[in-house]
Amino acid sequence: MKGPITMARARRPFLAAAAALLSLTQVLATESRHAWAAPARQAVGTPSDPPPAHQAAQHASPTAPSPAALPADVVEIPVSFTVRNVNRSLSVCAVDGGTYTVRGHLTAPRALLDSGDDLSVTLYQHDIASGEWFWRLDAQGHHLARELAARGHASLTVDRLGYGASDIPNGTGLCLGGSADIAHQITQQLRDGDYRTHGAGRAAPPAFDHVFLAGQGNGAQLAQIAGYSFDGIDGLVLMDWTDVGLDPRVNAPFFTALGPCLSGADNGYAYYDPTPAAFAEENFTDVPPEVLRLAVPLRSPHPCGEMVSQPTAVLSDLRHLPDIDAPVLLLFGEHDPRVGDPREQRELFTGADTELVTVPGAGHYVTFGRRADVLHDALADWLTRHGG
């Protein structure tokens, strides 16, 4: 494959591509990235312990959701990975070439990790507007990592580079192809046990024989890119993403966010949904009100370079998705306003064994619908059948 494309070689193409996209529609203003409360953002390269657990139980109110219980036989281990922001994927886009830290949590049945035999794990990639919290919301029935652990499966959830507790480089130096490469690097480190655990008293991180890659929204898109660009992925779980048939109203926030990106946008970051109200309306359907109140303030700004790389990534997907031969599970909300026909997306995977599950009543953030148990059961069953 060709070597990584760095920002030194491609800053001008980034601006040209963004300007071309911007010219297609009127750009609206977005608020500052600091306007709403969000997870603490760490300075690049600064080590830290993970933030303390959410203490909702100490501040219970009639509108507060029940905190997600941690089963007695499940462990949560803070972890970190050293990665290089390079792009060796088949989706060409610009990166800065730097070395950074990605942080997250390994959640698994204690007995599974202690056995050390034929271990499997699923690496989860959140979407453009969320973070690790998407998989770990402290609301009973909506903490996916704990729900999957209770069903016997190990999960690795992370803040992707540019989000939450992970390092925050300039957002113009990140892109989807580079994010796919980072997912591949983490996959390799999981197989080798070559990463760090924190505060868990473990002599060595567990090494996994099987690694599955899951994603939601554009996290699913980067999972696809990793799937057709690199070896070492045992299966793909793709939530709430289609490359074709997107609803036209999806374009409005996309182009809205380009304005701040072109003007410098606070270190190269902008919001995809311009307001918390838009974020709630477009992503959450059939969600308990108390869960909505907990999740919406966690809305995150995204790296501009990642968003600008999305259209060319779609072209790469349409060319290379037939090359994927690992099993694929597609999960969609019944009333997702942001995607096309899931059946059309499934048909693009002509070389893979695919399954499609629709969660009744759910919207784009399929994990937060009232019937999230359908997703948890289907995902756990699929992983069990495929060695996960």
**Distance (Å, whole) CA 30 – CA 249:** 17
Predicted local confidence at residue 252, as pLDDT: 65
> Binning pLDDT at 50, 70 and 90, where does residue 143 land?
very high
Mean pLDDT of the chain: 84
- What tens digit of pLDDT does each residue of 234-280 get? 999 999 999 987 766 666 666 666 667 767 667 899 998 989 999 99
Minimum mean pLDDT range among 50-54, 116-120, 139-143: 50-54
pLDDT at 4 over 80: no
- What tens digit of pLDDT does each residue of 150-178 get? 999 999 999 999 999 999 999 999 999 99
DSSP letter for each residue of 336-377: -TT---HHHHHHT-TTS-EEEEEETT--SSGGGSTTHHHHHH
- What tens digit of pLDDT does each residue of 19-30 get? 434 333 222 223
| SS3 label, residue 86 | coil
Q: Rg (Cα) of the chain, in Å, rounded?
A: 19
**Distance (Å, whole) CA 25 – CA 7:** 26
- What tens digit of pLDDT does each residue of 291-344 get? 999 999 999 999 999 988 998 999 999 999 999 999 999 999 999 989 999 999
Mean pLDDT of 337-362: 96
